[in-house]
Amino acid sequence: MLDFAIHQTTHPAARPWRGFRSHFEDNAQRPYPALPPPAAPTIGAASLAAILARFQLGEAGEGRIAHEIDRVAVCGVDADYRVALKLFVKEEGRHARILGAMVKSLGGKILQAKASNHLFRHARRFLGVRFKVSVLLVAEVVGGVLYDVLEKSLQEPSARAALRQIAGDERAHLAFHAAFLAAQPGRWRVPLRLGFWLVGMAASAVVITENFRDLLRLGFPPHAITVRLLRGLRAADRRTFGETAADLIDNRENLAGELS
Ligand SMILES: [Fe+2]
Ligand SMILES: [Fe+2]
């Protein structure tokens, strides 16, 4: 399905983002999943809807970087990357629409604003493109972990498949942002890595706090989710900020293998 490794390792200088661009172009052709009509609310459905509604807000808030990317000259940014980034933003908007439909189908309500949403939005607003991407990397880790966990608590097969698809998209987003950050000059590694961990720890704390009761009601111990978040952050950190060039190439091959 994806050929990131071929384009990025055998032809690193020639259109390195072509694989990601093709991936997002293919994804953009997918139809929206048909979700079931709203059912009678249950305690589990209410908690699930509440968590998904909080994540739905975050999915809708990525638009600014799609405009900025046309104006910046940053290492690794070419025409393919710009197209891929804009398609990535659209894909997050698609997630927002699907999650919104899922929340309604579970009998829940769409939210206006939440602390974690403010955190991500404010963190991004004052940052340059590189740091914005490192914040996005955190969002992919957090979203990927939570969607993977929550998918198990969805009863309805089409909703379950839709959330599984979104979780898969987040893994590809993670690979996309990790590859961009890994391509930055060495002097950026420490500040970007520091920013990633600061935002990652803060975001994990806020997400666990906001969703604590609902996770418990669904039978997911918050401390176990915290451990998964920290493991996800550590894995993303290793992939993105590997110590040697060989590590980075291996990382990209691993990511491509994981997504194919
Ligand atoms: Fe998303
Ligand atoms: Fe994402």
In sequence order, the 6+-apart residues with CB closer than 8 A to the CB of 243 are none
Alpha carbon distance 177, 180 (integer Å) = 5
Alpha carbon distance 75, 82 (integer Å) = 12
Distance 46 CA to ligand 2 centre (A): 24
Instruction: Render the burial of 3-42: b for 16+ CB within 10 Å, e for the rest.
Output: ebbebbeeeeeeebbbbbbbbbeebeeeeeeebeeeeeee
Ligand nearest to the CA of 175: 2
Instruction: Render the burial of 94-119: b for 16+ CB within 10 Å, e for the rest.
Output: bbbebbbbbbbbbebebeeebebbeb
Distance 66 CA to ligand 1 centre (A): 15
Ligand nearest to the CA of 176: 2
Ligand nearest to the CA of 93: 1
pLDDT tens-digit series, residues 189-238: 999 999 999 999 999 999 999 999 999 999 999 999 999 999 999 999 99
184 and 192 in contact (C-beta within 8 Å)?
Answer: yes
pLDDT score, position 175? 95
Using 70 as the pLDDT threshold, list the residues of the chain that sit under it. 1-13, 40-41, 61-63, 113-126, 243-260
pLDDT score, position 258? 53
Alpha carbon distance 152, 154 (integer Å) = 6
pLDDT tens-digit series, residues 124-144: 666 788 999 999 999 999 999
- Going by C-alpha positions, the residue among 144, 132, 139, 1 that lies closest to residue 77 is 132
Distance 38 CA to ligand 1 centre (A): 23
The secondary structure of residue 34, as a DSSP letter, is P
Alpha carbon distance 63, 136 (integer Å) = 12
Alpha carbon distance 159, 230 (integer Å) = 27
The secondary structure of residue 31, as a DSSP letter, is P
